Chain A
Amino acid sequence: MKVHLRNPNRTVEIEGPISVVALLRRLELNRESVLVIRDGALVPGDQKLPDDAEIEIRPVISGGAT
């Protein structure tokens, strides 16, 4: 499947089916720090993603230090 990542913007291919939690582990991403989005909707951690899915992994950490 195509997985779109940010900071920097890039796309990687990951073989499916794979659960969201396993995908994040494979990419060494912290579940607290990202959302997984498919077709504009949130995908929960236990859901299996098929090989033909196209996924956005969106970081949620932001902010300046004031």
Chain B
Amino acid sequence: MDRAEYARIMSKYTVLFVDDDDGITENLARVYKRYFKEVYTAANGLLGIEQYEKYKPDLVITDVTMPKCDGIKMATEIKKADPELKVIFSSGHNEEDFIKEFEKFGGFYLTKPMDMATLLNLILVVLKEEQ
């Protein structure tokens, strides 16, 4: 599947990237704008919850360790209001510590740095668009 095909499928959806590294969210937004209908960003969990409530994105891709409110806390909080939440976790290291937590949200996760091809495939799986 070439990139244009991914873009065609994913262009129906909106996505929220949550990462405390501004440089990363900025670059991710720039790259994934080509694929998604809309890309939203947030610098931490609290802002992520705000953005989610505001835009109700179809997918959340979030860092795990973040100041103030980490990815898992944020996901737990969002899921209380919206059980349909679709989320992919990305973690820098020690993801083993969180696997049990990830299970509660479908168990989708990637290790940083994320490989784009892998992420694109995973996004399709999560969005149940893989066929």
Q: Do A and B bind each other?
A: no
B residues contacting A by CB (< 8 A) are none
